[in-house]
Chains A and B, each alone.
Chain A
Amino acid sequence: MSVDKATVAKIASLARIKMGDEELERMVPELNGILDWVEQLGEVDVSGVEPMTAVIENHLRLRDDVVDADPKTAGGRREDVLANAPAAEHGFFGVPKVIE
C-alpha cells in the first residue's frame, strides 16, 4: 500500500492539520517509506491470536459512588479549567461563531 498526495491531503484533513502543497509533497515519500517498512508485519502468522488489549493484567476498578470524592478531579473548578483557555468569556470557552 502506498499513499499519494490526494490521500495524504485526506488524512491531514481528517487529522485537522492544515498542510500546503509543498508540505504534502514532502510527506508523501516519508509516509510511504514508513508504510512500506511496517508492511512486513503482514508476514507474521497471527491466526488465532487476539489483538492485545491490556499489556499488564489489571482489572477496571469502580470508584465509590461519592460526589467529588477526589477534590483534584471534582467539579466546582471552573476558574482552574478556564485558566489556560486562549479565549474564555463569561465563564465559557470562546470559539468562532458556528451558527449563522
Chain B
Amino acid sequence: MTDLTNLGVKDIRDGVASGEFTAREIAEAFNAAVAEAASLNAFIVTTPDHALAAADAVDAKRAKGEDLGTMGGVPIGMKDLFATKGVQTTAASHILEGFNPQYESTVSQNLWDAGAGMLGKLNLDQFAMGSSNETSYFGNVNSPWRKAGSDAAMSPGGSSGGSSSAVAARIAPAATGTDTGGSIRQPAAFTGICGIKPTYGRCSRWGVVAFASSLDQAGPMARTVEDCAIMLEAMAGFDPKDATSLSMDVPAWEAGLSADLKGKRIGIPKEYRMDGTDEEILKSWEQGKEWLRDAGAEIVDVSLPHTKYALPAYYIVAPAEASSNLARYDGVRYGLRDLPDGAGLQDMYAATRAEGFGDEVKRRILIGTFVLSAGFYDAYYNQAQKVRTLVSRDFAEAFGQCDAILAPTTPTASFPLGSLNDDPLTMYLNDVFAVPASLAGLPAMSVPVTVNTDGLPLGLQIVGKPFDEQGVLNAGLAIQQRAGFDAKPEKWW
C-alpha cells in the first residue's frame, strides 16, 4: 500500500468511500506521523483520540451505507485559534493557557459535521500576530523546508505557521488557517502549499479568538487547489451567531472547478512591482502570466494606486481593533490571573496582562491604544479607515477591467528563524502583497509554483472579486496544472 500520509483531502475522502482503506487506517497513519514530528513544534496539543473517534464514526456509517460527508474520513489540523469543546484553546498565548472551551466554534463544528476528525491544535503566532511563527508562547514552529546545503531552521511563515508546517510535512492532509493580513497566504507560499482566504463573511467568526474583527477570515490550507475547494465548502456558511456572516448559499466550489479560463481577463497590477522584491519571484510572476494565457485568459495591465499605503493603514486598523478585542483578557472571566499581594482590581488587570501577553502582542495593543486615544483618533485611525476605503475602491475599479488579479504572494521566500527579529517593520513588510486584499475583504489564494535556487518554495497569489471564490480557485487550478509543483521537503524531523 502507498504511504497513506502522502494523500490529500480528496484522495482520502474518495478512498475511504470506495473502501480502498478505512478512515481508521488513515487516522492511525497521521496520528503516527504527528507523534514522530514533535521537532517541528507544529502542534500545541495533539488529539489522536479525536481523530480516531471521528474515523470510527465514518467507518461505521460506511458499514451501514450512510452518507460519509464531504470530508468523510479526513483528519485535519485545527489552528489553535478556533475554540474546540473540551480541548485547550490558547491562541498560542500564556494568558489563555489552560483555557478549556465549553463550546465548539462554528467552523470546526462544520468540519466535524462533514466527517473530518482532529489531529490536534496547531501552533501559531500569538493571537495570530506575526509573520514568522516566532511570537508563540509555546515556541517557534519549524518549517519542514531547509535551504539546500544548510540545516538552519527556517520560518514556516505566520501566523498560520503550525498549519503550513504540518501540511507541508505531510503530517496532516489539510489544516484550518485564519487570515487577517496574509496569515493563510504567506505561510502557504513559504511552505509550498495552497491556502485560500474567502470573501470576508463567508466563514463564521463565532468561536474564533478575535484579533481584528473587520479583517479576520478563516480558510483552508492544503496541498492542492481541489483540496482547498472541498474544505472551504465544508467550512463556509451563514451563521446567525456572527453579525457579519454572509447570508448566502455556499456555492458548489468543488463541482465548479475548471481550469479553462477562456474569456477571462487577468489583471497585473503595476504597483506590485516593488523595490526589494526577489528577482526569482518576479520571474515566477512572469511565468504565471504565461500559464494563465495558456489556459485561455487575456492578460491586462491594471492599476491599484494606493497599494503602498495599504500596509501602513493595516498597521493602524488591525492594532486598533486588537487593542479593543484583547481588552477582554482581564484575569476575571477566563485565562491567567496574576494577583500580586495586596493588589486591587486595576493592579490585577495590569499585572495579569503584563504576564500573559508576549512582546509583539503588547506592542500592537499599545499602538492600537495610542491611535484610538483622544487627540490622535482622527489623525491616525480615521485617516487609515479613509485610506482603506481608497484601497478597496482601487480594487473595484480594477475589477471593471479584469476578472481576477495575479500577483506574488510575498516579496521573498522563507527566511531563517531569528533573522528578522530586530526590526518589527521589516517583518511587517512580508505581508505587503497580502494585506491589500484583506483590507478590501476579497477572496485571495496562494498557489505554489516553483522552488528557488535555494530550494525554497515560491507562491503566486490570485485575488478575486467579492464572492468569486470560484474564479480564484479556477485560476489557481490553471496555474497548478501548468506549474506541476511536486517538490517535497526532505525529511529531517
Cβ of B353 and Cβ of A55 under 8 Å apart?
Answer: no
C-alpha spacing A8/B347, complex, angstroms: 18
Tell which of A19, A44, A50, A98 has the most Cβ of chain B within 10 Å.
A44
- Is A30's beta carbon under 8 Å from chain B? yes
- Is B243's beta carbon under 8 Å from chain A? yes
- Is A95's beta carbon under 8 Å from chain B? yes
B383 contacts across to A, CB distance below 8 A: 41-42, 44, 46
- Is B452's beta carbon under 8 Å from chain A? no
Instruction: Summarize A's interface: helix, strand, loop or mixed.
Output: loop
A15 contacts across to B, CB distance below 8 A: 323, 353, 365-366, 369
- Is B335's beta carbon under 8 Å from chain A? yes
- Is B348's beta carbon under 8 Å from chain A? yes
C-alpha spacing A58/B451, complex, angstroms: 41
A34 contacts across to B, CB distance below 8 A: 315, 363, 367, 424-425
Cβ of A17 and Cβ of B354 under 8 Å apart?
Answer: yes
C-alpha spacing A53/B389, complex, angstroms: 9
Residues A17 and B243 in contact in the complex (CB < 8 Å), given A11-B373, A31-B363: no
- A31, A44, A85, A87: the one within 8 Å of B309 (CB): A44
Cβ of A84 and Cβ of B392 under 8 Å apart?
Answer: no
Cβ of B334 and Cβ of A80 under 8 Å apart?
Answer: no
C-alpha spacing A72/B346, complex, angstroms: 32
C-alpha spacing A46/B386, complex, angstroms: 6
- Size class of the contact patch on chain A: 35 or more
Cβ of B392 and Cβ of A87 under 8 Å apart?
Answer: no
A18 shortest CB reach to chain B, Å: 4
Cβ of A56 and Cβ of B386 under 8 Å apart?
Answer: no
- Is B39's beta carbon under 8 Å from chain A? no
Cβ of B309 and Cβ of A40 under 8 Å apart?
Answer: yes
Which residue of chain A has its CB nearest to the CB of B329?
A16
Cβ of A31 and Cβ of B367 under 8 Å apart?
Answer: yes
- Is A67's beta carbon under 8 Å from chain B? no
A63 contacts across to B, CB distance below 8 A: 240
A17 contacts across to B, CB distance below 8 A: 350, 353-354, 357, 362, 365-366
Cβ of A60 and Cβ of B243 under 8 Å apart?
Answer: yes
Cβ of B331 and Cβ of A86 under 8 Å apart?
Answer: yes
By a beta-carbon cutoff of 8 Å, the part of chain A in contact with chain B is: 1, 3, 8, 11-19, 27, 30-31, 33-35, 37-38, 40-42, 44, 46, 49-56, 58, 60-61, 63, 70, 72-73, 77, 80-81, 83-87, 93, 95-98
By a beta-carbon cutoff of 8 Å, the part of chain B in contact with chain A is: 99-100, 102-103, 199-201, 214-215, 240-241, 243-244, 246-247, 306, 308-309, 312-313, 315-316, 323, 327, 330-337, 339, 343-351, 353-354, 357, 362-363, 365-367, 369-370, 373, 376, 379-380, 382-390, 392, 423-425, 439-441, 466
Interchain residue pairs with CB less than 8 A apart (30): A1-B376, A11-B369, A11-B370, A11-B373, A17-B350, A18-B347, A34-B424, A34-B425, A38-B312, A38-B315, A40-B312, A41-B316, A42-B383, A44-B309, A46-B386, A46-B387, A52-B385, A55-B441, A56-B244, A58-B244, A58-B247, A81-B102, A84-B102, A86-B332, A86-B337, A87-B337, A95-B345, A96-B339, A96-B344, A97-B344
